[in-house]
Structure 1
């Protein structure tokens, strides 16, 4: 690299101007790099709670295919700890960027894993579950990136001004709204998961037949509350086939509680998806504002060219 190019690169690194289209933070001196405590961030209490959430989520995945009660219990505890780590961070003054990212990644991954199961259990609706996964990831990634690139490294993704979006401001600043929206959103998908083990309306394998428990040729209506007890069938030799798994999930529990959980949480789940769409749109517009500003400063775009001609 020539001396002139090296000087330009150093200037770009120190003044924070974009390099190759990416924003760069100010350079840190040697003194600033050494100005750190010897605390182990990874062992902060909120982060330890975050690790326990990961362990509980993994355990719930292990029981997810055939053990709904164990899976539901472990999954619920993991989600409830999401509120506890925030309380611990404020109580012990241990709020960290690592903890915030760990918390968000855990939330996204656990919800995705549950939706992946629902996609495999109910392939007719797999596209809906796939779209929900895509919306969830796209919305949060776009919002996080926009916050870091436009608001600065020290800016929290939860600091959304009311002038930018009143709904997003309410969602992120009101802890009760945030907790209820996230909790009931998870509860909706958990309710659907439990219905795969209990409701004939969700799982056709739970329907009885006119010819007896082992006859699947002439299904008739059945109560959506009490599941049917199907006899073992020799039709599905492979224990790993989709049909065999559906039969294996039959008669695990009553569908009364899962139906209540699903119906009660449906409006809040819908609200959460609306928030995801708004978050995606607002973050995209915020990034576009920065792009237009950077292009104007670089002398690009029709407005900048017009100003040059006037001069």
Structure 2
């Protein structure tokens, strides 16, 4: 995704991006990567992407290492966090290819790599929100069991692994259409990795945007909002009607961490999905201001892949302790 999903201007070609197509900065609807007449963006964007890549790789590698190596980190919630970190790690690993694509103004890596990068872009769009949905369901079930003073025998680390595999399979099915439409297009001698839709192209383009909006935002976010509303009502009734504590201290901290991760995810991704609505309802002229907003929204969505590790380190005491212990073991003579 190089900028906002504005309506494509040329027939049968849409620029590559997370979840859909867009009108590129050049303004001609064919070049998905070039900066056109905006040299400031050409310099700034690779720098911003490189920072996101470096921070994301470092942070997510640390999260994956700690969860896999520290025995005390083998919890249900951490299994979902591990998968979130893996999804973010995959995206940051291929971000240098997106940077090269942007700088070279064409795609030199072949169609197989084009489809692979498009697929990973889409995994980044969909996987985080669906793992957060699963984490929200898990939090609700924990609250429900606490309210009823029941143990959750089915809530095991192994069960979390199975659920995680199911989420990956589900997201793979969701992104399959984008992988199919991702192709190499020869634009006057310059190869571009883009979505090439069948005729009528504009209808397919709109369908792809609506599909991403519904499956990547509206449905999962609505589910999460309903779950947390029910959770808050349950906690309120517990305080009013019983003498039992709503949750013990540890459970409260985990619930808070999940809610903060969710809030940051929505902060980073809501502008992108709102831009989809704008793209579907408004004919926007590609001015310098609009292109600048476009790149800002793109960078904000990318930044979500490097923010989560800082949230774990700030909110999770056990993560910090495990990380320090592993560092001490590695540095000990």
Q: Could you state the TM-score of these two structures normalised by the residue count of structure 1?
A: 0.34
Structure with the larger helix share: 2
- Point out which structure has higher relative CO (alpha carbons under 8 A, 6+ apart): 2
